[in-house]
């Protein structure tokens, strides 16, 4: 997965530092569409965890299937969204202040509040580090009681993107390494803390740790190399 780029100032203090490919609210409904999508994303996430985490009668499961199929058909009848065409205007804004909550575009797969696959992260700036706090849930489970390893890798990759925000640098993921020190628990509070350690030309070197905060155990460590690019390349899509 490609990490995202520094966000620009949106103007609404609750959604500061959104990136230039963020959702553009309709003029007649300044925040209603984005807020409605966020609630829908939250509901889909909750549904996934409820479906995976609970035994249910087949009649209820069949009703879930038919309801979701019908809703999918309704949604697919509408115009396809293109993030590159929804690009907002405006200058690149300053990085968030120390201690400030950081957000990104609404549908960012791991951290976006509208993402149906999101991890419900709360991310803040702590000096030169980005710190994400979260609790993994039923649909994230791999081995019994433990997160699937791919969830941990996606978490690191996404949170590294907020370090790019701190440094006001656009970049793509070049390499991502994960060392799993212990099982990452389901249902316990976690903290993912990452930072840039050095730069060599266009190469940005990062490190990070994922900690079970109930006992201060580091359950995973990560290294990464990001490649700095011109921000205009994001709007060009995969062929840029």
Q: Name the residue ranges covered by the structural domains of the chain.
A: 1-240
Please state which architecture CATH assigns to domain 1-240. Roll (3.10)
Spatial CB neighbours of 54, under 8 Å, sequence gap ≥ 6? none
- Of residues 231 and 216, more confidently modeled: 216
Order of strands across the sheet with 217-228? 122-126, 129-135, 189-200, 203-212, 217-228, 171-180
> How far apart are alpha carbons 214 and 230 in whole angstroms?
41
- Name the nearest CA neighbour of 114 among 44, 20, 171, 14: 44
Kindly report, residue by residue over 38-75, the tens digit of the pLDDT.
Answer: 999 999 999 999 999 999 999 999 999 999 999 999 99
Mean per-residue pLDDT of the chain: 85
> How far apart are alpha carbons 181 and 214 in whole angstroms?
16
29 to 32, 172, 177: CA distances (angstroms): 5, 33, 43
Q: Which residues pair with 101 in a beta bridge?
A: 124
pLDDT band at 22 (very low <50, low <70, confident <90, very high): very low
SS3 114: coil
Note the pTM of the prediction, 2 decimals.
Answer: 0.83
What is the percentage of the chain residues whose pLDDT exceeds 70? 79
């Amino acid at each position: 997965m490609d990490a995202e780029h520094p966000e620009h100032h949106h103007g609404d203090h609750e959604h500061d530092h959104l990136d230039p490919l963020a959702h553009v609210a309709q003029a007649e409904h300044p925040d209603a569409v984005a807020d409605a999508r966020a609630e829908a994303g939250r509901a889909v996430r909750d549904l996934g965890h409820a479906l995976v985490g609970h035994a249910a009668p087949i009649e209820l499961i069949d009703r879930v299937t038919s309801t979701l199929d019908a809703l999918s058909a309704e949604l697919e009848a509408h115009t396809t969204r293109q993030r590159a065409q929804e690009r907002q205007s405006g200058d690149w804004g300053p990085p968030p202040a120390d201690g400030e909550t950081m957000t990104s575009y609404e549908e960012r797969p791991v951290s976006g509040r509208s993402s149906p696959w999101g991890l419900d992260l709360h991310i803040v700036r702590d000096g030169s580090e980005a710190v994400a706090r979260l609790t993994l849930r039923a649909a994230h489970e791999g081995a019994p009681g433990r997160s699937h390893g791919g969830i941990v890798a996606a978490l690191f990759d996404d949170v590294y993107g907020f370090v790019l925000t701190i440094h006001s640098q656009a970049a793509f993921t070049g390499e991502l390494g994960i060392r799993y020190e212990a099982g990452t628990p389901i249902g316990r509070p976690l903290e993912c803390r990452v930072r840039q350690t050095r730069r060599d030309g266009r190469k940005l070197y990062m490190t990070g740790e994922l900690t079970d905060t109930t006992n201060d155990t580091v359950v995973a460590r990560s290294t990464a190399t990001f490649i700095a690019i011109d921000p205009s390349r994001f709007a060009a899509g995969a062929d840029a």
